Chain A
C-alpha cells in the first residue's frame, strides 16, 4: 500500500461495494465472508439440532412410536454429517476469516476471490446433502462414518451424500490454502511466528491438518462410489477387497478431523482466558508445541476407533499407547489455562463463563477418551452410548462452547455494540445445565450395555432415555436465547469501545475501532 494516497479518498474507494443481496454474493471481503460462514453454520446447527430432537423423540420411551427404523438411521447419520461438516467446521472457518487478518495486521485474506468461492461451495454441498432426504430410499443411513459395505447397499441418497462431502471438502481445502498463505505472508513486520496470537497458531496447524486429510476422505468416499456403480471391489471381499480397509482410510482422515474441530477451539480459549484473567497466557511456547504435538500424534492413532475389528496384538498395543500419549499435550494445555487464571484478576462475563465451562466439561470428555483408549475397556464400551457421551463432551462442550465463547468475545468488535450480558448469562447457564443432563447419563447407558444407533431399546434403559430426551429439548430451546442475543447485538445496544475488554491485547482491540472498518489495516501496525 502506498502511503502517498490520501487516506480519506482511499477509504471511500474501498468502502464502495454493492448493496443488498449482491453484496453477499459477490463479496471478496474477509469480514463479509466470515459473517456468511457463521450464519451458514448457525443454519446448519439448527438443522442438525432438529434432526437430533427428532431422533430423541423416538427414543423418549421404548417401542417404535414415530419413525420406522430406516428413517431413524437417516436421522442419526444426517445429524452427524450436518453437525460435523455443516456446523462446526464452517463456524471455525468463519472465525478465521474475521479474525486472522485483524490479528496479524493484514488488510484482508490473501486470496480474496478464492475466499468467496470457498464459501459459496458450502450452500451447494449442504443443499445436496439435505435434499437426499427426498430421493427414493431417503438420506444416508449408514452412520456419519458410512462404513462399507453397508454404504454400498444404500439408495441414491448415498451418492448425493458423497458428492456433498466432495464439495464441502473442496471448500475446506481452498479455505485452508487461503489461511496458510495469509498467515505465512501477510503478517505485519515484527510479528514473528512465535509472536502470533494463539488463535492464529492453532488455525495455521489446523489448516495443515485439513490439507493433509481431506483428500484421504475424498479417496475413501470415491472408492465407495466406484464400488457402488462401476463394479470395483475395494471393500468387497468377494472381489478381493476388504471392508476393514474402508475403516482404516476413513479414520486416517477421521481422527485428525477430530482435532480439526478442537484445535481452533483451543485457540479461542487461549485468547479468552488471558483477557478475563488480565494476565498473559502462562506458557505461550509450550502451548504452541502442545498444539503441534497433538496434530502430529493425530496421524498415528486412527485405529483406536477400530479395536473390535480384530487386529494383531502388536497393533492394538501400538494404537493404545499412542492414544494414551495424547493426554500429555492435552494436559499441558489444561494446566496452562489454569495457571493463567491463577492469581489473575478474574471476571466472569459470558465469554469467560463459556471458557471456564469449556475447560471443566471438555476435560470430562478428555477423561472418558482416556478410558476409551484402554483397548480392553474399549471392547466393552465401543459403539455404545458411552462413546456418544464422550464425543458430545468434546464436540459440544468442547468445540461448540468455545465457538460461543469466541462469539460473545468478538461480537463487540464485529458489530460495534456490546451484547446483552443478561441474555448471555442465561444462555450459558441453561446450555451448561441441560448439556450435562442430556449427555452425562449416556455414560451410564453405555456402561450398562446400550448400543448406539438403535431406534428402540431394552426396558432397563427407559428412565435415562426419557430424561435425556427432555433435557435435549431444553438444550435445543436454550439456543434460541443465543439467536436472540446475537440479533439484539447486531441491531443495537451499548456502544462498544475500541478495546471492549480490559485484558484484550491483540491487534484488533489495540489498533482498530469498534466496529472494525471494512478493510482492517490500511497501514501495517508495528509490533514490538
Chain B
C-alpha cells in the first residue's frame, strides 16, 4: 500500500457522502477527451446528440412510470382499472421509436462514411502490435524509411509503488510516434502475435491490429501537441502496459525531425562486418534484452513459472550458440510447457540479436562456454 491509500480512501468517503462535491473537483473526467481531428469532433458531437436524445426519452417515459408509482397506489385507495390491449396505442409506440431511430441512424451513417475514406494520404505508417509494445515504420511520404519500436517508459519502481508515480504514469513511451500537423496520415496495422488495438482517444481512432492481416485507418490532426492512448484489445499479461504516444509537430519541425532520424539511423547502422568485443556487446545486449526480452523472461532472467522459462542456468542459453540463435530468429512452440510460445524476433537487427544473446550468456551468473556471439553468426543463420 502506498501513500495514495489515504487519499483514495478520503476521496472515496467524500464522494460516497457527497457526489456533487467530488464532481466539482477540477481533474474529474466524465466525457470523451477533447478531440483534435475532424473525425474525433464529429464522433464527439454525435455522442452529445445521442446522449441528450436518450436523456429526453428517458425522462419522458419514466416520468409517466414514476407518476403512476406515486398516484396509482393501492394504499391511497386507488382502484385498479382493467383495461388492456389497444391497437392504436400499440401502433403509435412502435412507429414513433422507429422514426426516432431513423433520426439517429442518419447522422451516424454520414460520420461513418467520412471515417471510412482512407484514400490519398500524405504519409503512410505501418503499425505493428507486439506483446507488449508497438513498432512503427514510415512507409511512404516525408520520413520514409524511419522505423523504431515504442515501449512503455514508466519505470518498474513506479508501478510497484517504490517511487512516486509521475504525471503521465503508464501513458509514456521511450519513443513516441511523430507526425506532422494537418496532414492525412494513413495507418496500416498488423500484429506479430495476438490481436492488439491501436487507440488514441483524442483522434477518434481505434483499430484492431490482427496478426497475418493488414487493416487501415487514418487521422489528420489539427493541433500540435502530445496525445496519449493505450492498447484496447486484451493481448495477454502486459495488455495494460503498452501505451501509445503521438507527438504532432509543425511541418518545419517534422521535416527537421525526419531528417535527423535518417541521419541517426545512418550513423547507427552497424557495420555488418565489424567484430565486437565481449564488453561492448554485453553493454549493447543489456539494452536490447530490456527492450525485447525482459517482458517475458523478466529483467532478472528468472522468467515466470509455467508461462515463460527462466534463462538463468537454461540449457538453451548455456548450450551451443547456434541453437539459441535459431530459437530467437524463428521462435518455437511448446518447448517449455505445451502451449508456451516464443515469438520469432527476426525483425531485430543482427547486432541486437547477437548482443542480447551474448548478454544472456554472461548475465545473472550464467557462464556459457561459448559466451560471445558475433553479428556475423546471426547473419549467417538467417540464410
In the assembled complex, A342 has its CB within 8 A of some CB on chain B: yes
Contact indicator per residue, chain A 290-308, by CB within 8 Å of chain B (1) or not (0): 0000000000000000001
Mark contacts of B235-275 with chain A using CB atoms, 8 A cut-off: 1 yes-contact digit, 0 otherwise.
Answer: 11111110000000000000000000000000000000000
A448 touches B32 (CB 8 A): yes
Determine whether B279 belongs to the interface, using a CB cutoff of 8 Å to chain A: no
Given contacts A283-B84, A383-B206, 4 further A-B contacts (CB under 8 A): A155-B337, A453-B234, A460-B27, A461-B29
Interface residues of A in 449-502 (CB under 8 A from B): 449, 451, 453-463, 466-467, 469-471
CA distance A320 to B113 in the complex (A): 13
Q: Give me the 8 closest cross-chain CB pairs, A-B, nearest first.
A: A237-B212, A454-B240, A448-B29, A310-B215, A466-B8, A136-B306, A345-B74, A444-B30
Q: What is the CA–CA distance of A380 and B305 in the complex, to the nearest angstrom? A: 37
| B:70-90 near A, CB below 8 Å | 72-75, 78-86, 89-90
Report how many A-B pairs have Cβ atoms within 8 Å. 334
A16 at the interface (CB under 8 A from B): no
Do residues B93 and A332 form an inter-chain contact, with CB atoms below 8 A?
yes
B54 and A347 contacting across the interface, CB-CB below 8 Å? no
Cβ proximity bits B369-381 to A, threshold 8 Å, 1 near / 0 not: 0000000000000
Binds B, one of A21-29, A32-40, A367-375: A367-375
Contact flag A149-B193 (CB < 8 Å), given A136-B306, A363-B58: yes
Chain B positions 191-245 with a Cβ under 8 Å from a chain A Cβ = 193-195, 197, 199, 201, 204-208, 210-213, 215-217, 229-241
Residues of A within 8 A of B113 (CB): 313
A129-150: CB near B (< 8 Å → 1, else 0) gives 0000000111001110001011
- CA–CA, A134 and B93, complex, Å: 53
Query: A142 near B234 (CB under 8 angstroms)?
Result: yes
List residues of A (179-203) whose CB comes within 8 Å of B's CBs: none
Which A residues are closer than 8 A to B by beta carbons?
Answer: 60-65, 68-70, 73, 136-138, 141-143, 147, 149-150, 152-156, 158, 228-229, 236-238, 242-244, 277-286, 308-310, 313, 316-317, 320-321, 324-325, 327-328, 331-332, 334-335, 338-348, 356, 359-360, 363-364, 367, 370-371, 374-377, 379-380, 382-384, 437, 444, 447-449, 451, 453-463, 466-467, 469-471, 503
- Determine whether the beta carbon of A137 is less than 8 Å from that of B16: no
List 24 A-B pairs, Cβ < 8 Å. A63-B4, A70-B304, A73-B234, A137-B306, A149-B211, A229-B338, A278-B74, A285-B85, A308-B232, A310-B216, A328-B98, A332-B94, A340-B84, A342-B68, A345-B78, A346-B73, A347-B75, A367-B54, A367-B57, A376-B204, A379-B206, A444-B29, A451-B231, A462-B4
Given A338-B61, A459-B167, A463-B28, answer yes or no on A320-B108 (Cβ-Cβ < 8 Å): yes
Cβ of B159 and Cβ of A383 under 8 Å apart? Answer: no
A467 to B241, CA, bound (A): 23
B104 within 8 A of A: yes
Decide if B178 is an interface residue (CB 8 Å cutoff).
no
Interface centre among A138, A280, A374, A467 (most CB of B within 10 A): A374
User: Which of the four size classes fits the interface of chain B?
Assistant: 35 or more
Query: Could you tell me which B residues sit within 8 Å of A by CB distance?
Result: 1-2, 4-5, 8-9, 11-12, 15-16, 22, 25, 27-33, 39, 42-43, 46-47, 50-51, 54, 57-58, 61-62, 64-65, 68-69, 72-75, 78-86, 89-90, 93-94, 97-98, 101, 104-105, 108-109, 111-113, 115-116, 158-161, 165, 167-171, 193-195, 197, 199, 201, 204-208, 210-213, 215-217, 229-241, 304-307, 337-341
B244 to chain A, nearest CB (A): 11
Q: Chain B nearest CB: distance from A301 CB in Å?
A: 14
Interface centre among A60, A229, A310, A328 (most CB of B within 10 A): A310
Question: Of residues B16, B160, B216, which shows the largest number of chain A Cβ atoms within 10 Å of its Cβ?
Answer: B16
A415 vs B101: C-alpha distance when bound (angstroms) = 46
Chain B residues positioned under 8 Å from A454 (CB to CB) = 230, 239-240
Nearest-Cβ distance from residue A202 to partner chain B, whole angstroms: 18
